Amino acid sequence: MSDQAPKPAWWRPGRHWIPHWSTWLILLVAAYFWWRPLAWVSDPMTPAPAISAQLLDGRTFDLNQHRGQVVLINVWAPWCPPCRREMPAMAEYYQANQDRPFTILALADDEEAAVRDFVRKQGIPFPVGLTRQASGLAALGDISRIPTSFIIDKQGRVVHRITGPLHPGRLHSLIDPLL
């Protein structure tokens, strides 16, 4: 009599269990969605509130003065990894569309020194302010996750609310039709 326990039916001598390719596929897809920063896009189509912000360079950004332009308002923080990843794409999109009726307002939720340091190191070309020095932002709704972005059309309506990071493809697909 052998001291070893009987082997399961799928076990054959000299063969180890190797997961089926579909098992690997399911695991990879699950891992992708688990670690990938999710983004949700909603289309509220509501009039944009009167938003103004003191910018880092001392100027004031008033949303009402940008009627006739598409405006991307992005709420972010320098300590936020998805925010840091989306900034180069936003900067590239901003620079590529400077001759079009488009602008970006980035409102950072952090200490001014940290924001200034990040903006300087990254060479951010668009207007940047602090959330605590902005008025009217709360009227856009609860911002419970960053980054959160709002796209305002030329007529002054909030046409998209994006919770999660923006990548180049998403910027083009959401903003280009409005320009």
Residue 52's Cβ-count burial label (10 Å; 0-12, 13-18, 19+) is: middle
Closest-CA residue to 168 (of 74, 71, 85) = 85
Contact 101, 25 (CB under 8 A): no
What CATH class is the domain 39-178?
alpha beta
Cα separation, 46 vs 158, whole angstroms: 5
Show the 3-state SS of 82-97: HHHHHHHHHHHHHHHC
pLDDT in tens, 126-150: 999 998 888 888 888 888 888 999 9
pLDDT tens by residue, 84-104:
999 999 999 999 999 999 999
Residues sharing a CB contact under 8 Å with residue 130, sequence separation 6 or more, in sequence order:
53, 54, 56, 107, 108, 109, 110, 112, 115
pLDDT of amino acid 90:
94
Say if CB 118 and CB 78 are below 8 A apart.
yes
Domain boundaries defined on the chain: 39-178
Phi, psi for residue 112 in degrees, rounded to 5: -60, -40
Decide if pLDDT at 120 tops 80: yes
- Helix count (H) and strand count (E) of the chain? 4, 9
